[in-house]
Amino acid sequence: MMLDAVLARIDDTLPESLERLMALLRIPSISTDPAYAEACQSAADWLVADLASFGIAAEKRATPGHPMVVGHVSGEGPHLLFYGHYDVQPVDPLELWDRDPFDPALEETPAGKVIRGRGASDDKGQLMTFVEACRAWAAKHGSLPCRITFLFEGEEESGSPSLVPFLEENAEELRADLALICDTGLFESRAPAIITMLRGLLGEEIVIRGPDKDLHSGMYGGPSINPIRVLTRALAGLHDDEGRVTVPGFYDGVPELSPELAAQWDALNFDAAGFLGGVGLSEPAGEAGRSALEMIWSRPTCEINGIVGGYTGEGFKTVLPAEARAKVSFRLVGTQDPAAIREAFRAQIRAALPADCTVEFHDHGASQASHMATDHPAFEAARGALAEEWQTPAAFAGCGGSIPIAGHFKKLLGMDSMLIGFGKDDDQIHSPNEKYDLESFHKGIRSWARILDAVSK
């Protein structure tokens, strides 16, 4: 069988694959620090040459910042775009590293062999899982199983300033049937998952003002309104006793989990007790009647992220403050409308104001949740391929945080994304002693070979 030959080739040439990853890891492509701009160019050059080494026409494309690498290979079947990033986070504090972050090595640990070095996991190691799968495929078949576009970015760790303009300018060239993004992790470091739901985010800041200056509570305490009292009461009213958000219309557009997805999530056997226990907690504190996994992946939230007011310094001061502030954010799901929620939230806060208080709001941005259209047959095909490789069920998962690239692909190129990654929770990405398990690298390469096989049939 053709796939078996590719998998055997991946196993046989793993040492060479690892050598190539080590070479890429030695390039200190820190995107945020201008001192490493040359290294970012070198990393892009290295990738162009590496793709060319197995017959893929690729080139470095200039942007106002660090370059993009774009490569194309023609073929039958679906057109896939693979995205990864070659830039890395800064390495400080350097003294906390056990080795030079840009002198990577394979280390033996009690948990198995790991590749140690900056970018080992995020994202060079992950990016190379796909490249190596393609290389093995090309070596066995002389071509790739379908049409593939490669897109490697060099500014992901510094806010991707050039990405949106680049996607807009090159939309025709980059638009594919589906994007593959390898920059996420395994579920609980053990089970493969395809992230298909990303929560949106809405940020608001409230400033409530009362008296025109700070007052003394001995002089004014009683008759004077206290903005902190007004603020905390309004904030306390944002949730009911069941943990539900009280903003009118908040749950409009929040879908119930389908029975199929609920079954997939059940099969993941999420360790909620371990998840909460890891941060010193014991009970899910969200909406009553919802599992912890639902709370993170498929339910919306309202959180108070900061409160400031009055005297908070050393000692004590009996002040009645002139103002009180809070920052509040909402994680959004489904088709919840951030603009409508912002308006309803502001109206609710205004309605809670007594005479003599005013409120000012600051808009801290908003993004809608994104949902991949998993009815594209590639999603089921990839899920099956992942389960086969990892010998454990794979699920369409949610992600509580945001991954902007998937939203950009959807909005600018009309393209859904399959977010598949092999990182583990203890990879220490963005921190000293970053690592990638050799198993993640090896099985990651094999996973992509299986996925390419499955989706191109």
Nearer to Zn ion, 122 or 337 (CB): 122
From the CB of 429, what's the least distance to Zn ion, in Å?
A: 7
Angle at CA of residue 123, ends 121 and 128, nearest 5°: 90
Nearer to Zn ion, 13 or 433 (CB): 433
Nearer to Zn ion, 126 or 264 (CB): 126
Would you state the structure tokens that stand for residue 310, as one six-digit string?
A: 């009055």
For the chain, the helix, strand and coil percentages under 3-state DSSP, each to the nearest 5: 35, 25, 40
Burial of 282 (0-12, 13-18, 19+ CB in 10 A): exposed
For Zn ion, how many residues bind (rule: CB under 5 A)?
3
Judged by CB under 5 A, which stretch of 14-22, 34-42, 118-126, 435-443 contacts Zn ion?
A: 118-126
**123 contributes a contact to Zn ion by CB under 5 A:** yes
**453 contributes a contact to Zn ion by CB under 5 A:** no
Nearer to Zn ion, 152 or 330 (CB): 152
Residues 372 and 416: their CA atoms lie apart, in Å, by 5
Site for Zn ion in 172-191 (CB under 5 A): 183
Site for Zn ion in 124-183 (CB under 5 A): 183
**434 contributes a contact to Zn ion by CB under 5 A:** no
From the CB of 85, what's the least distance to Zn ion, in Å?
A: 6
Measuring CA to CA, which residue among 146, 37, 139, 134 is closest to residue 84? 134
Helix (H) or strand (E) segment spanning residue 450: helix 438-455
Burial of 114 (0-12, 13-18, 19+ CB in 10 A): buried
Judged by CB under 5 A, which stretch of 40-48, 116-124, 233-241, 377-385 contacts Zn ion?
A: 116-124
Residues 194 and 187: their CA atoms lie apart, in Å, by 9
From the CB of 54, what's the least distance to Zn ion, in Å?
A: 24
From the CB of 163, what's the least distance to Zn ion, in Å?
A: 13
Nearer to Zn ion, 125 or 321 (CB): 125
Distances, alpha carbon 338 to alpha carbons 163, 175, 398, 424, 453, in Å: 24, 28, 19, 32, 40
Beta strands in 232-341 (DSSP E): 301-309, 319-320, 323-332
Residues 85 and 308: their CA atoms lie apart, in Å, by 38
Residues 144 and 135: their CA atoms lie apart, in Å, by 9
From the CB of 88, what's the least distance to Zn ion, in Å?
A: 9
x-marked contacts with Zn ion along 72-111 as a string, rule CB under 5 A: ----------------------------------------
Candidate list 87, 122, 294, 434; residue touching Zn ion; CB under 5 A: 122
Judged by CB under 5 A, which stretch of 6-14, 54-62, 119-127, 380-388 contacts Zn ion?
A: 119-127
Residues that bind Zn ion (CB under 5 A): 122-123, 183
